[in-house]
Structure 1
Amino acid sequence: MKNTLKKLQAHPNTAAQINLSSKQKIFCGIIGILGFCLGMPNFMTKDFGIGGFLPALPILVILFPLCLSIFSFSANSRFEAFKNSWLTSVLAFSASLYWLAYPLSNQGGLPVFVTIPFVLLVGAYLALYPALFSVLFQITLTRFKPYSPILCFIATFLWYFQEVLCSLMFTGFPWLNLSMAFVPWTICIQLVSICGAYFLAGIIAGIALLFFQSFLIVINQEQKNFKVSLPIFSLLAIFLSSWLGFGYLQLKNDNTLTEMFSPFKQETNKIDNLNNKLEVILVQANISQDQKWDRKYFLQTINAHKQLSLEALSKHQNPENPPLVIWAETTMPFDTKAGVSFFEDLKEFVGNNNFLLLFGHISFDEGDYLFNHPRNQAGIISNNGEYLGSYSKAHLVPFGEYIPFYIDRIPFIYEVFQGILQGVGTFIPGDINQKFNSIQLRNNTRLDMGMLICYESIFPNIATKRASSANLLINISNDAWFGKSAAPIQHLYLSALRAVEQGRYLVRCTNSGISAVVNDKGQIITHSSLFKTEFIHAEVELINRNTFYHNISNWLNIF
């Protein structure tokens, strides 16, 4: 391979910058796949109760964009760049999304081997976007020399472009974002408060390309040619020092550095430090999916949440400041209008025990006596037992809450996904611009909640809308569908990116894990384990200041 890499532009009649054999391309693809799968949370991850043995290795994901860049350098045509990158990406995404087979098998009733094509199909779709990066980058390479420093900026913007495109097309599924892998290394994700998770992923791709260009320079002994080596080595040093240096300063500085970069006047400033604390209790009742929608278990489900809440409240130290207790997505299996007796009993329970309760439940539209149009909602009850309103989930999960493109008309598809549609059928979305009203806590302190139900937390644009009128982000979810897999960890990491982007604390309450409290720097302060019945007691800050990313994304209306 060394001799091959020495022969840049070996074939002037082709578009290839370097010439690789088929075996070398296969080896490169394997390295990219392994780097992606091991860099992302996977089934071998040792944290959060999965039972694995591997520590977090986020740096390995850099091998994935590096591999795709090599395919662009070595491709003789756009089709070859697309083919090699797409095949590699299919395997990388499918292996990382293996957990999609769980609900199809457990709730859909399909044999495990039948679920494999579906996982591969999702992987094949998501692979189109990094493959597009390789094609566009290969086109660019024909116009620049292989050592051109401009290529790193082009790679950055092209990767950013494909990440944004993936988040928008067909309702969007931006799940395996490169930035997500670095959540365990908090210093590496601070830049998202400036540029967002998608652009940080582009920067990571640009760094990967600079490493490859540096490798070519060393292999070809071009490091002695300062006109070639100096710009590349300098850019690599600048990118790395900016990435890690900003992270270090941001974590060290109590006052967010992103305010220094913002050209906009802050509409709200820091509230009094003595009054911006709120005690939260996250109740993880660990209700089985098989029992969740079975009417004979309704009282058992309700009582389990009450009992765990009372146990947590017994540790509450300040009765003058009622805590916020949170129950997970669709915790209460009744409609607040139809299940009047259950609901009245719940309000009385909250009032008698002096706490605020945010709980997930389903609801049906007024006058919908056939209960054909459920909404996935979060409701809030004040500490005096008054129902203060609800939020309806705006961005629904395809195949989990509705079946898109009318394919449910195919009998086999309909039967499979009926078991997954949360026991109540096809949901309808709420208004994307809805919000909770402010809740007066004490003195001049307000609680403004930005709700993100389930996988709404993976979308930066939704989090930006919620943070515009919120000083605390709340994510309620139910990831029990996916068993003891990497899915809950991946979901938690994506949610943590939203906390950094918006400069808000984020509390995440789930039915079976992983429940967690994430601070405004993306640090996971405390968390539960998977499939454990437990509660989390924590104190959070209510933050009103906005990050640069929040301001610029609103102004430009970018995601």
Structure 2
Amino acid sequence: MKRLIFTKTFLHILVAAILNSLAMMYVQFVFCLPAIALILYVLLKSSSHKNAFTTGLLFGGLSSLILNYWMVPVVANYANGSNGLALACYIASGVALAVFFGAQFYLASLLLLKQERPSMVWINAFIIASVWVSFELLRATIFSALPWLSYTAGISQARSIYLLQPAAFGGVFLLSFIIVITAYFLAVDLINRKVRFLVFAVGILAIQYATGALLFNKFSAEIEEDNPAHFSVALVMPALSPETVWNDESANAVVSHLLALNEKAVATKPDMAVWTETVVPWAYSPDDDFLKEISNTTANTNTLSLLGMNSSLDQSETNLSNSVYLLSNTGKELGKYDKQDLLSMAEKPLLASPALILPFIKKLDLKMEAGSNSEPVNTPWGKAGIMICNESTNSFHAAGLAKSGAEFLVNMGNDSWFSDYFITTQHFYNARCRAVENRKDLIINNNRGICGVVKSTGEIKIEEDGRNSNVISAEIHPNKLQTFKLNNLVYPAITILLLVLGNYLQRVKFNPNKNKTQTQK
């Protein structure tokens, strides 16, 4: 019997992990909601805190193993064919996510209150959701440089323009909070084999959708009325493979390709041409021949260039920062941003250990550091908040840029190593969340990823496959709007307050002296 129960439980966890992984891969809410409902069903049926920990351990570990399948071929390629290192990274990621979900479910089981009446179900739903989001926030903070360990349930709603709108008030974490509450009601009905709370689950989603529609329509009207000013951009999509970029033998062909794209972009007469991250592998110099050729094309126009290029931090040109330069039509440097959140094991060693970095950077004898230019870049149309590569997955980073005065956002990345995997989709829709969270138009240009423009309302104006070399044009509407954000401490605060309330209600209900007195009367 125990073996049968264990088998059924494991199958439930496995199905939940598969659905959860599909939700993240394809950014689909229809997979996420049943995934969380099923895993909460297993949690609620756990006979002990130890079983709850095991449930979380298996769910997190299995989800990671399914989600991060891309890691083995990508890391092996990045690490010059080291399959052992690729497998080690894959397993380590699974262990890390397993431990976090194990701890999360263990804590949740400790805090759950007895559910003798409907009010306790509501209290438990909010407690579980608060714990879930608190751990998402913790992972987002610790693993900001390892984005494959910091995904959120809320990202699954990023395809829906209306479901996405509440992110303007509480970020993607508020979306996770709503999803988990809804899923909890479904889990309770699964256990009781009734549909008592289904109406609440459907009601929550209906309210979220309707509220999102109202918010979208209201903000769309306001932004169009208050911000008529705009400027034009041309996104230059080079579609360069990593092998091509770093191969000296193909340097001339690469440069010719880029210059041809530049001419094509300038021909559209944009106010600004936006390139991708580190579009050329060498360090910036004001006398660089490539930049001179770029400026020769723009000299007789009003087109500025926003270009991804490394910066040398010393004379050796081996100590670099990953930077973005704003160049005038004559090639003069007008502004600069340096990447702050370096990708662990790719741009910086994991845990600050020199040994824990992939051989690719070591082989080139390079050392990457966060540069000193972290503020939004001044442009003629307002401040540009720059996010390089994985920084767009960091909700805190984008919020900081908006708080510093950014009037529009730009995400320049290089997805060439992941161009055949779902990572590019995740990257694009994470960026869409940043646009809504901060109510800023967002330009996203990822080499061999998904490129385009997302409006401050969340509308996708352009979405193109960056694996195809091209130039696309769009209009950007800057704005000075500062959005209200829920403090991240609100989630643990909700947990504490509800625990106090729930325990009080339970004491009132089960006070033996009170029951005895009522019986005597």
Contact 1:329–1:360 (8 Å) recurs in 2: yes
Contact 1:33–1:92 (8 Å) recurs in 2: yes
- Looking at structure 2, the residues matched to 430 and 242 of structure 1 have their Cα atoms a distance apart, in angstroms, of 45
- Do residues 462 (structure 1) and 397 (structure 2) align? yes
Residue 179 of structure 1 aligns to which amino acid in structure 2?
Answer: G
Give the equivalent residue in structure 1 for 2:464: 528
Give the equivalent residue in structure 1 for 2:261: 308
Give the equivalent residue in structure 2 for 1:393: 339
- Do residues 240 (structure 1) and 240 (structure 2) align? no
- Do residues 33 (structure 1) and 11 (structure 2) align? no
- Do residues 186 (structure 1) and 132 (structure 2) align? no
Give the equivalent residue in structure 1 for 2:135: 162
406, 430, 434: which one aligns with 2:375:
434
CA-CA distance at 1:356 after TM superposition: 1.1
Query: In the TM superposition, what whole-angstrom CA distance separates every residue of 1:105-145 from its partner, at most 9, and x where no partner exists?
Result: 21212355763342232122123333332112211225554
- Looking at structure 1, the residues matched to 373 and 116 of structure 2 have their Cα atoms a distance apart, in angstroms, of 46
Give the equivalent residue in structure 2 for 1:13: none
Query: In the TM superposition, what whole-angstrom CA distance separates every residue of 1:376-420 from its partner, at most 9, and x where no partner exists?
Result: 0000012343210211001100011011235433xxx66xx1215
Q: Output aligned runs, 1:106-505, within 5 Å.
A: 106-110=77-81, 112=83, 115-145=86-116, 148=120, 149-169=122-142, 171=144, 173-174=146-147, 175-217=150-192, 219=193, 229=196, 232=197, 235-255=200-220, 273-274=227-228, 276-316=229-269, 322-337=270-285, 340-365=288-313, 368-409=314-355, 417-419=358-360, 423=364, 425-431=366-372, 433-437=374-378, 439-440=379-380, 446-468=381-403, 469-505=405-441
- Looking at structure 1, the residues matched to 124 and 304 of structure 2 have their Cα atoms a distance apart, in angstroms, of 54
CA-CA distance at 1:508 after TM superposition: 0.6
Q: Residues 113 and 373 of structure 1: is their aligned pair in 2 closer, same or farther, counting only changes over 3 Å?
A: closer
- Looking at structure 1, the residues matched to 447 and 145 of structure 2 have their Cα atoms a distance apart, in angstroms, of 25
Contact 2:446–2:466 (8 Å) recurs in 1: no
Tell me the matched-pair count: 486
Contact 1:99–1:485 (8 Å) recurs in 2: yes
Residue 156 of structure 1 aligns to which amino acid in structure 2?
Answer: A
Q: Residues 271 and 297 of structure 1: is their aligned pair in 2 closer, same or farther, counting only changes over 3 Å?
A: farther
Q: Residues 39 and 146 of structure 1: is their aligned pair in 2 closer, same or farther, counting only changes over 3 Å?
A: farther
- Looking at structure 2, the residues matched to 374 and 273 of structure 1 have their Cα atoms a distance apart, in angstroms, of 38
CA-CA distance at 1:471 after TM superposition: 1.2
Query: In the TM superposition, what whole-angstrom CA distance separates every residue of 1:332-367 from its partner, at most 9, and x where no partner exists?
Result: 2232238633334433333234311000001112xx
Contact 1:156–1:206 (8 Å) recurs in 2: yes
CA-CA distance at 1:486 after TM superposition: 0.5
Q: Which runs of 5+ in 2 are unaligned?
A: 493-521
Give the equivalent residue in structure 2 for 1:9: none
Q: Residues 20 and 338 of structure 1: is their aligned pair in 2 closer, same or farther, counting only changes over 3 Å?
A: farther
- Looking at structure 1, the residues matched to 95 and 214 of structure 2 have their Cα atoms a distance apart, in angstroms, of 40
Paired residue secondary structure (2:323): strand
Give the equivalent residue in structure 1 for 2:69: 98
Contact 1:130–1:159 (8 Å) recurs in 2: no
Residue 467 of structure 1 aligns to which amino acid in structure 2?
Answer: A
Residue 152 of structure 1 aligns to which amino acid in structure 2?
Answer: A
- TM, length-normalised to structure 1: 0.80
- Looking at structure 2, the residues matched to 465 and 236 of structure 1 have their Cα atoms a distance apart, in angstroms, of 34
Residue 345 of structure 2 aligns to which amino acid in structure 1?
Answer: F
Q: Output aligned runs, 1:8-23, within 5 Å.
A: 21-23=5-7
51, 55, 58: which one aligns with 1:80:
51
- Looking at structure 2, the residues matched to 240 and 553 of structure 1 have their Cα atoms a distance apart, in angstroms, of 23
Contact 1:305–1:327 (8 Å) recurs in 2: no
Contact 2:384–2:409 (8 Å) recurs in 1: yes
Contact 1:474–1:508 (8 Å) recurs in 2: yes
CA-CA distance at 1:492 after TM superposition: 1.0
- Looking at structure 2, the residues matched to 329 and 210 of structure 1 have their Cα atoms a distance apart, in angstroms, of 44
- Looking at structure 1, the residues matched to 365 and 354 of structure 2 have their Cα atoms a distance apart, in angstroms, of 15
Q: Which runs of 5+ in 1 are unaligned?
A: 5-18, 43-55, 224-228, 258-268, 317-321, 441-445
- Looking at structure 2, the residues matched to 555 and 142 of structure 1 have their Cα atoms a distance apart, in angstroms, of 22
Q: Residues 421 and 379 of structure 1: is their aligned pair in 2 closer, same or farther, counting only changes over 3 Å?
A: farther
- Looking at structure 1, the residues matched to 102 and 221 of structure 2 have their Cα atoms a distance apart, in angstroms, of 37
- Looking at structure 2, the residues matched to 256 and 78 of structure 1 have their Cα atoms a distance apart, in angstroms, of 51
Output the aligned Cα RMSD: 2.9
- Looking at structure 1, the residues matched to 265 and 8 of structure 2 have their Cα atoms a distance apart, in angstroms, of 58
Contact 2:41–2:190 (8 Å) recurs in 1: no
Query: In the TM superposition, what whole-angstrom CA distance separates every residue of 1:284-305 from its partner, at most 9, and x where no partner exists?
Result: 1111211213344334333322
- Looking at structure 1, the residues matched to 416 and 185 of structure 2 have their Cα atoms a distance apart, in angstroms, of 41
- Looking at structure 2, the residues matched to 490 and 335 of structure 1 have their Cα atoms a distance apart, in angstroms, of 29
Paired residue secondary structure (1:476): strand
Give the equivalent residue in structure 2 for 1:53: none
- TM, length-normalised to structure 2: 0.85
Q: Residues 379 and 58 of structure 1: is their aligned pair in 2 closer, same or farther, counting only changes over 3 Å?
A: same
Paired residue secondary structure (2:326): strand
Contact 1:512–1:531 (8 Å) recurs in 2: yes
- Looking at structure 1, the residues matched to 289 and 28 of structure 2 have their Cα atoms a distance apart, in angstroms, of 51
Paired residue secondary structure (2:162): helix
As a proportion of its length, which structure holds more helix? 2
